[in-house]
Amino acid sequence: MKLPIYLDYSATTPVDPRVAAKMIPYLTEHFGNPASRSHAYGWEAEKAVEEAREHVAALINADPKEIVWTSGATEGDNLAIKGAAQFYKGKGKHIITQKTEHKAVLDTCRELERQGFEVTYLDPEQNGIIDLDKFRAAIRPDTIVVSIMFVNNEIGVIQPVAEIGEICRSKGIIFHCDAVQAAGKLGIDVQKLKLDLLAMTAHKMYGPKGIGALYIRRKPRVRIEAQIHGGGHERGMRSGTLPTHQIVGFGEAARLAKLEMATDNERIRALRDRLLNGVKELEEVYVNGDLERRIPGNLNVSFNFVEGESLIMAIKDIAVSSGSACTSASLEPSYVLRALGRSDELAHSSIRFTLGKYTTAEEIDYAVDLLKRKVNRLRELSPLWEMYKDGVDLNSVQWAAH
Amino acid sequence: MAYSEKVIEHYENPRNVGSFDKGDDSVGTGMVGAPACGDVMKLQIRVNDAGIIEDARFKTYGCGSAIASSSLVTEWVKGKSLNEAEEIKNTQIAEELALPPVKIHCSILAEDAIKAAIIDYRKKHGLEQPAEQPACKAA
């Protein structure tokens, strides 16, 4: 068993060796520029790019013509939200999103606010999922774009994308969905879901970093304004020489995901439940976000009375991420957990475990044993744990903020 | 983030973990920080009749640097008079543990914890308090 055990698959995944093998010839032998129309090097590169486009389109049941390559999902989210807002600004200036979106969406919306757009940031419910009535109530006559993610990156909860799509379509609002944590993990069918734009990235589905795709619906046609100019690649929507090897890798990763997703998910879910049952043997452990409406590979839990950063330090044999961004100077707990209404203490004590297709039962058992020992040790060190055991209500204590 | 060797050493082998009886007359207790801020330190000193800190205990909820800072000061205060212990500065703690700028607040909290424990002890004994200092800065 290799240490540290990798349980951070939502941050990134290793490249599947089958994907890497497929990519290599496109670095060395078939190195042509897919935009070169005058010779065989260009033609073979273009053929590989188009094959990959078919695989990525097939993963979400789209038409290949609806797929635009990007450098990743951050660019995809920027292109979708800014592109749609700027194209449809004649119709209105209001955008709706939610507080638990990824920063790629939130920071893009902030930028649009600086450009004169108005943005509503919805609060999700305590389980992390958006309330459709509150969503409907936020819609204004001048709402032009809605951006709601498919699956949350921290807590793994699945948003009611189909229902949001119905509502948006009926009101003529463009619906963008950041599907980074969903693509390759959940079956996505854009023919059934009334999505207009959807961003994906390869490196969360065992493909390489640095390549993503934006789905842009053709029927009914969705228009966006390009954000990168220079050469008119990707039908003018995203200029720049296509990285053939990355695209080939994304295509292969998407093809494999479509084939193997169901069996992988079953295994991953069983391991996730094994992890949950293991840590639940400790007292005062809280699952963050809805446990049922959640992707199989995510478990986000708070170990009450233990601070997240010191816990991560104690469990350095497992590679996980903390909900608390204590490493930044801000000392802010996770904004996602805060938006769920979690107390600061619980938000500070959270750990995100994300499992993937290479996770083993042996690794999970090792992680559970380590967690139990280290949480108990840190609780012995914790004045809050001592007070809790003495029956002190921590909310009744007058703390001196610092 | 990378921790210094000294932080890791104290974190792995914290000194003087535990609690004294708060009600004991020879004990001074300082509790500083807030769960909402991500760190709470409880520092206790046991003072003998000669006014010398004989022993110390701590419990800390916080990051590795906060645990190391409090562990370190329990060692430093031992054998010191109250006045000497009061002289311990956060900069000395930060320097000893090679804390990065984002972790300086941990050393400030440890200094505040010593002061709070001393104030508590003096209050119990009706001793005069030197110029009062706030245990924590306002948020």
pLDDT in tens, A88-103: 999 999 999 999 999 9
When mean pLDDT is compared across A75-79, A245-249, A260-264, A387-391, the lowest value belongs to A387-391
A321-347, pLDDT tens digit by residue? 875 544 444 456 788 998 999 888 888
Q: Give the whole-angstrom CA distance, residue A102 versus residue A121.
A: 12
A326 labelled catalytic: yes
User: Quick one: pLDDT at residue A346?
Assistant: 87
User: Quick one: pLDDT at residue A345?
Assistant: 81
User: Quick one: pLDDT at residue A329?
Assistant: 43
Judging contacts by C-beta atoms under 8 Å, the chain A residues touching residue B37 are 331, 344, 401-402
| Mean of the per-residue pLDDT values of chain A | 95
Judging contacts by C-beta atoms under 8 Å, the chain A residues touching residue B41 are 383
In angstroms, what separates the C-alpha of B120 from chain A's closest C-alpha?
16
In angstroms, what separates the C-alpha of B64 from chain A's closest C-alpha?
5
Q: Give the whole-angstrom CA distance, residue A323 versus residue A315.
A: 15
- The identity of residue A64, as a single letter, is P
Compute φ and ψ for A94, nearest 5 degrees: -105, 135
Using alpha carbons, list the distances in angstroms from residue A355 to A195, A296, B87, B102.
28, 8, 50, 31
Judging contacts by C-beta atoms under 8 Å, the chain A residues touching residue B66 are 307, 310
**Total count of residues recorded for chain B:** 139
Q: What is the mean pLDDT of residues A296-313?
A: 92
User: Quick one: pLDDT at residue A28?
Assistant: 96
Closest partner CB to A326 (pick from B42, B63, B67):
B63
Contact across the interface for B135 and A399, Cβ inside 8 Å: no
Closest partner CB to B63 (pick from A310, A384, A386):
A310
Which residue do the tokens 């090897």 mark?
A245
Chosen for mutation from A315, A324, A326 (greatest number of chain B CBs closer than 10 Å) is A326
Closest partner CB to A402 (pick from B14, B42, B109):
B109
- Catalytic choice (B106, B108, B110, B118): B106
Q: What is the mean pLDDT of residues A360-372?
A: 98
Contact across the interface for B59 and A383, Cβ inside 8 Å: yes
User: Quick one: pLDDT at residue B126?
Assistant: 86
User: Quick one: pLDDT at residue B130?
Assistant: 64
In chain B, the residue whose alpha carbon lies closest to the alpha carbon of A397 is B34
Dihedral in degrees, nearest 10, Cα atoms A172, A178, A182, A187: 30
Q: In the beta sheet, which residues pair with residue A95?
A: A119, A145
Chosen for mutation from A303, A305, A310, A392 (greatest number of chain B CBs closer than 10 Å) is A310
B38 contacts B126 by C-beta, under 8 angstroms: no
Pairing of strands A5-6, A318-319: parallel
A137-194, pLDDT tens digit by residue? 999 999 999 999 999 999 999 999 999 999 999 999 999 999 999 999 999 999 999 9
User: Quick one: pLDDT at residue B137?
Assistant: 44
Judging contacts by C-beta atoms under 8 Å, the chain A residues touching residue B13 are none
Report the half-sphere exposure of A392 (CA within 13 A, side-chain side). 13
In chain A, the residue whose alpha carbon lies closest to the alpha carbon of B113 is A400
Q: Give the whole-angstrom CA distance, residue A54 versus residue A219.
A: 18
User: Quick one: pLDDT at residue A373?
Assistant: 97
Which residue do the tokens 């999103």 mark?
A97
Closest partner CB to B35 (pick from A309, A381, A399):
A399
Contact across the interface for A383 and B64, Cβ inside 8 Å: no
A69 contacts A200 by C-beta, under 8 angstroms: no
Q: Which of A75, A21, A22, A20 is nearest to A48 (CA)?
A: A22
> pLDDT tens digits, chain B, 139 residues: what are they?
578 999 999 999 999 999 999 999 999 999 999 888 889 999 999 999 999 999 999 999 999 999 999 999 999 999 999 999 999 999 999 999 999 998 999 999 999 999 999 999 999 998 876 655 544 443 3
> Residue by residue, what is the 3-state secondary structure of A100-169?
CCCHHHHHHHHHHHHCCCEEEEECCCCCCCCCHHHHHHHCCCCEEEEECCCECCCCCEECCHHHHHHHHH
Judging contacts by C-beta atoms under 8 Å, the chain A residues touching residue B99 are none
- The identity of residue A301, as a single letter, is V
For chain A, percent of residues with pLDDT exceeding 70? 97
A209-227, pLDDT tens digit by residue? 999 999 999 999 999 999 9
For chain A, percent of residues with pLDDT exceeding 90? 88
